[in-house]
């Protein structure tokens, strides 16, 4: 996220189940990463591979990730990491952001003061045909 000062974490959701408190890592140049330590027993490579096969495990974690993101929507510019982006140490997070700084800066500039919305549309051909067949046809003359 871009912020002129350290992002406040008061009132921010708990984050991932089993994780520590959220914290802000200064990356430099007004960029911050909001991170959380999680136990390897629950989020290590093998545990994560097992968990990803179970929607009952993934669901609460996806919601927790989204809630943390929502907590920072008022930031000048926000670029969420993909769910389950894991690093072994805070300096690895900072190194990752710094190594991709030019692309991240371009994206942050593009999304600054904007909020992303998703829309899902569904279509049932059967239902549409049934409704269409029940409508009376009127002459156009």
Count of domains observed in the chain? 1
Q: What is the mean pLDDT of residues 66-72?
A: 92
The continuous run of DSSP H or E covering 70 comes out as: helix 55-71
Asked, for residue 10, whether it belongs to a domain, the answer is no
Does residue 3 belong to any structural domain of this protein?
Answer: no
For position 140, what pLDDT does the model report? 65
Highest mean pLDDT: which of 91-95, 120-124, 135-139? 91-95
Residue 128 lies in a domain: no
Q: Is 101 exposed, middle or buried (0-12, 13-18, 19+ CB in 10 A)?
A: middle
Nearest to 85 by CA among 48, 110, 51: 48
Q: What is the pLDDT of residue 134?
A: 84
Determine which of 10-24, 32-46, 83-97, 103-117 has the lowest per-residue pLDDT on average.
Answer: 103-117
Residue with tokens 């993909």: 82
Q: How confident is the model at residue 141 (pLDDT cuts 50, 70, 90)?
A: low
In-domain check, residue 31: yes
Position 15 in a domain: no
In a domain? residue 74: yes
- Classify residue 58: in a domain, yes or no: yes
> CA 141 to CA 137: how far, in whole Å?
12
Torsion of CA 84, 104, 20, 52, to 10 degrees: 0
Percentage of residues of the chain with pLDDT beyond 70: 97
Could you tell me the residue range of the domain that residue 65 belongs to?
23-116
Residue 129 lies in a domain: no
- Tell me the per-residue pLDDT of 90-107, one tens digit each, with 9 for 90 and over: 999 999 999 999 999 999
């Amino acid at each position: 996220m871009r912020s002129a000062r350290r992002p406040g974490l008061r009132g921010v959701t708990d984050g991932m189940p089993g994780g520590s408190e959220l914290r802000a890592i200064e990356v430099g140049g007004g960029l911050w990463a909001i991170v959380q330590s999680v136990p390897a027993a629950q989020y290590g490579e093998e545990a994560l591979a097992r968990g990803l096969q179970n929607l009952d495990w993934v669901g609460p974690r996806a919601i927790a990730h989204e809630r943390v993101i929502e907590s920072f929507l008022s930031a000048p510019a926000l670029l969420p990491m993909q769910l389950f982006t894991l690093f072994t140490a805070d300096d690895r997070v900072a190194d990752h952001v710094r190594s991709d700084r030019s692309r991240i800066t371009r994206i942050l500039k593009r999304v600054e003061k904007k909020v992303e919305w998703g829309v899902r549309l569904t279509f049932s051909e059967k239902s549409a045909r049934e409704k269409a067949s029940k409508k009376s046809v009127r002459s156009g003359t």
